[in-house]
Amino acid sequence: RVFLAINLPDEVRKKVEKVSVNLANKLPEKGVGFVEPKNLLITLHFLEDQTGASIQEIKKLSRLDYESRNFRN
């Protein structure tokens, strides 16, 4: 399974963690789970199952697009 995603800044992860803990404490049922803060991200596009060659091409193309648009700090 392959997808393009953006990692969240640490301060956002910490805020989400606080909300998750607060919500978990208020839920009567303990069968609900939350994603670990270190695993939080925003999925931009799900690309389904891909082969190794396709994954390498996707990495190359996404890196080029990322760099060409100057999204870096």
Instruction: Kindly report whether the global pTM for this prediction surpasses the value 0.85.
Output: no
| Beta strand residue intervals within the chain, DSSP E | 2-7, 41-48
What pLDDT, in 10s, does the model give residues 61-73?
Answer: 776 555 545 544 4
What pLDDT, in 10s, does the model give residues 43-56?
Answer: 887 877 777 778 77
Using CA atoms, how far residue 71 sits from 6, 33, 37, 66, in Å, is 11, 33, 23, 6
What pLDDT, in 10s, does the model give residues 5-46?
Answer: 888 899 999 999 999 889 888 887 767 788 898 888 888 878
